[in-house]
Structure 1
Amino acid sequence: MPRRTTDYRGLAESSRVRLLRAIQLSPGSTLRQLTERTGIHENTARDHLRTLEQEGLITTRPLRSGRRGRPATTYTAVDDTSTNEAAHRRVERALQKRRLLRTLLPEHDRTGGLAEAAVHQLDVLQEHLDDTGFDPEVDPRRMVVGLVPCPFHRIVSEDQELACAAHARLLQDTLAQVPGPVRLEELRPFVTPQSCEVRLAYYEASE
């Protein structure tokens, strides 16, 4: 199928996934620190980091050192859309699209009984998974999302633990971008040879 205009390019390269994982593990890292940890050449890493920022996956800040000259740039994964305009636009588009679909196809809406904030979180999560290249099957009542196929199969073949950990954290951050009670409980890779499963948890406000 042709690539949708909203699809993530940021996760299409294994080097970008490695950089994203390094940032997730050490937020506020500089370019030099990231290249040392990943072994990726500085010029290549700089281009990949620019793409990750444009895709709304990471945000940049200057490192305040108190020294003269241009400050180094630090990189942090996005869990707050106020830090990245691309992430903010993605959330807004996801909410608008899912709201419209529920209006046009009410017979397919299975979110009844969930708080509005939880529905918004699921909307954004489903759009993220669609954009990433999964074919998510969301069950709001069981709070389970089936994923098939895995678009990271090439990266998984190189380093499954890294690829799955990076995406699990990305799911967590995606849910955090919308205030609500839904949290990631577990990403279960390859529950079948062709599919993975996301398990979510619903936390009441008092918790």
Structure 2
Amino acid sequence: MAPLTSGDAPPKGPLPARPRRRRPPLTRARAAVLQRLADQPEPCRVAALAAVTRQHPNTVREHLDVLVADGYATRVAAEPDGRGRPAWLYAVVDLEDVADDAVVVAREYAGLAATLAAHLARSSANPAEESLEAGSAWGHQLALASGREPAPNATAARRQVVAMLDELGFEPDADARAGVVRLRRCPLLEAAHEHPEVVCNVHLGLVRAALEELGADAGGAALRPFSEPGACRLDLLPRRRREPDV
């Protein structure tokens, strides 16, 4: 492969976020049924799965119904065999199908966010400030909903915020103290390119609020959109302690 020339340098800023699909967590009993289902070489009926799990068919059926509803398993009708309704055949979900569904959801979400960002940019007298406020409200809500407790020290709090950003699809790359974070992906990349004063400030407000909830000083948090090859730079250290760039 030929070396990169100056004209081939990667563009500054992050990549689009990888799509994710969140599914409800499994109970131990339901996970055991799903594992047994995954072990089967072909789709199987409730009776067969009940035999290998040594559970009552009604119990297995209840677990399977929830697994199907939550996206872990699929259900199709078997070929008719005599009178009566055909039996159901169950199988674990195809991971490629999950990815396809996630892409559709991500695109719909991104389209909605882009529309809202454009509206705020047009209609607000101070879109940057209002975006920070909206992001702050979101960040407080996310930090509380995550169940995370305030951290014992500022570094641990910053690391928890980095973990939240990873869950949101930013693919953060943080230094040892989580003082400088490079965001390699963006869940709203197209909208951020079109309206950075809105989208990027929403993300900054989110980070500052999460820092506050988790016990760190948010005063120095700053986001530098599209500032580096393949990333946006996020500074999390308080201003009085921030070290100069080298």
**Which one scores higher on RCO, CA 8 angstroms, separation ≥ 6?**
2
**What's the TM-score, normalizing by structure 1?**
0.49
